[in-house]
Chain A
């Protein structure tokens, strides 16, 4: 009788043991960082940021972006041919898939369109277009023009020309 009891006990412990092993180990871990979105066909992964403000971060809800570049205006749609280059002062237009159109003024910066349809635009300065003060830009333009006429070295001249170009673009925006 006693021996059967022991046998029963040992049998039951072994099943418990087996059950314990079979269970997955429960360990708490940190959550994995969310994977970067991958562009589906007809989509682009769009990032647009200035040093102190990120306007779009890996957004897939953008249809088209018009960018002022050093070699002229370009319109970026999904699966654009890969290229990169620098920005020129002007208005950058972002057209979202849901119809909203956002306009930003960019001073300078870089853009890159990659093979996997990711698009990065990094502007040195970028502000929404309605945050610009045109009166101030006008007075600054006059100042820059007088600086250009009084500039003696090539570097000073180039600097004044860049300023004039930027202010003119602000006024035209």
Chain B
């Protein structure tokens, strides 16, 4: 069990290096500009998780962090999008009305840019006119430690209102729009990639534990088996010997 997850983890760890260069590069414009928060703006919180479990409390911790942030917002203006079954399961009981969309089939294979473009496209087509939002994802620090982080994103209108946007030259509505649409796909890609790698790391650790526990169990069981076998042999011997002496 550990070996399979270790192989998958090694693969994911290799892929995170270029993906991080790509993602950090894509997100740097958001780091360098400040977008002021508005009153009563509409927000979406996106939980980046996956369909697959057996990786410790990774997904539930993430969903819990999102929920804590969600409770601070006004309910009518904030929606939740779940990427992956695990976060959907978390939200569907108490927050089923707040769930805007859910995406399935995440986490079986490494995320590709095409999948992420699809997710971003569906978010824009959802009919919920959000001004800003946040992706919640697990940042991959090492196999042992994953950190829950937030990646903000903005709509075209939200971003155009930023005061620091004025330093950028020759920007028109069209450019901002196509840039923002692309940027959303980039953000999905980066956060999904980080989360996928975190998940593989967490799974490797938990599978290591499972393998160790199985080893302990096998030891205990074989001891029990040997004792039972010994007892059966002893009983049979006693029967034979007592039979012989009776003759």
Chain A residues packing against B (C-beta within 8 Å): 47, 49-54, 57, 70-71, 81-86, 108-110, 112, 114-116, 118, 120-122, 124
Q: Which residues of B contact A115 (CB under 8 A)?
A: 32, 167
Task: Give B contacts to A, CB under 8 Å.
Answer: 15, 17-19, 21-22, 24-26, 28-29, 32, 112-113, 167-171, 175, 178-179, 182-183, 186, 189, 193
Tell me if A's interface is mostly helix, strand, loop or mixed.
strand
Would you list 14 pairs from A and B whose C-beta atoms are within 8 A, ordered by A residue? Answer: A47-B25, A50-B18, A51-B189, A53-B18, A54-B17, A70-B178, A82-B169, A83-B170, A86-B178, A112-B28, A115-B32, A115-B167, A118-B28, A122-B26
Complex interface: chain A residues within 8 A of B170 (CB):
71, 83
B186 touches A110 (CB 8 A): yes
> What residues of A have a CB within 8 angstroms of the CB of B167 in the complex?
82, 115
A51–B21 Cα distance when bound, in Å, is 9
Whole-angstrom distance between the Cβ of A46 and the nearest chain B Cβ:
10
Q: Do the beta carbons of A124 and B113 come within 8 Å of each other?
A: yes
Question: What are the 6 tightest A-B residue pairs by CB atom distance, in nearest-first order?
Answer: A54-B21, A120-B25, A49-B22, A54-B18, A47-B25, A49-B21
Complex alpha-carbon distance, A52 and B16, angstroms: 8
Distance from A121 Cβ to chain B, minimum over Cβ atoms (Å):
8
Name the one of A82, A83, A116, A120 contacting B26, with C-beta atoms under 8 angstroms.
Answer: A120
- Residue of B32, B112, B179 touching A85 (CB-CB under 8 A): B179
Q: When A and B form their complex, what is the total count of cross-chain residue pairs whose Cβ atoms lie within 8 Å?
A: 78
Q: What's the Cα separation between A120 and B29 when bound, in Å?
A: 9
Q: How far is the CA of A110 from the CA of B25 in the complex (A)?
A: 10
Query: How near does chain A come to B72, taking the closest CB pair, in angstroms?
Result: 31
Q: In the assembled complex, which residues on chain B have CB atoms less than 8 Å from the CB atom of A120?
A: 25-26, 28-29
Instruction: Considering the complex, give the chain B residue whose CB is closest to the CB of A114.
Output: B32
Shortest distance from the beta carbon of A135 to any chain B beta carbon, whole Å? 25
Complexed CA–CA distance, A94 and B130 (Å): 38
Partner of A86, one of B15, B19, B113, B179: B179
In whole angstroms, what is the CA distance A120 to B179 when docked?
13
Q: Is the CB of B182 within 8 A of A110?
A: yes
Tell me which residues across on chain A come within 8 A of B182, comparing CB atoms: 86, 108-110
Interface centre among B17, B21, B113, B175 (most CB of A within 10 A): B21
Evaluate contact between B168 and A82: CB separation under 8 angstroms: yes
Contact, CB under 8 Å: A52 / B18: yes
Residues of B contacting A47 in the complex (Cβ-Cβ under 8 angstroms): 21, 24-25, 28
Point out which of A51, A53, A71, A116 has the most chain B C-beta atoms below 10 A from its C-beta: A51
Residues of A close to B112: CB separation below 8 A: 51
Minimum CB distance partner of A74 in chain B: B170
Partner of B175, one of A71, A82, A121, A122: A71
Q: Out of A110, A116, A124, which one reaches B183, CB within 8 Å? A: A110
Cα of A89 to Cα of B189 in the assembled complex, Å: 21
Nearest CB in chain B to that of A119: its residue = B25
How many Å lie between the Cα of A12 and that of B183 in the bound state? Answer: 68
Residue of B nearest to A51 (CB): B113
**What residues on B are CB-neighbors of A86 within 8 Å?**
175, 178-179, 182
Residues in chain A near residue B29, CB distance under 8 A? 84, 112, 114, 120
Q: B172's closest neighbor in chain A, by CB?
A: A71
CB-CB under 8 A from A50, the residues of chain B are: 18, 22
A84 touches B179 (CB 8 A): yes
**Smallest distance from the beta carbon of A172 to chain B beta carbons, Å?**
23
Q: Which residue of A lies closest to B190 (CB)?
A: A51
- Report whether A83 and B179 are in contact in the complex, using a CB–CB cutoff of 8 Å: no
Contacts of B175 in A (CB 8 A): 70-71, 84-86
Quick one: given A110-B186, A120-B28, A124-B113, are A83 and B171 in contact (CB under 8 Å)?
yes
Closest beta carbon of chain A to B120's beta carbon, Å: 12
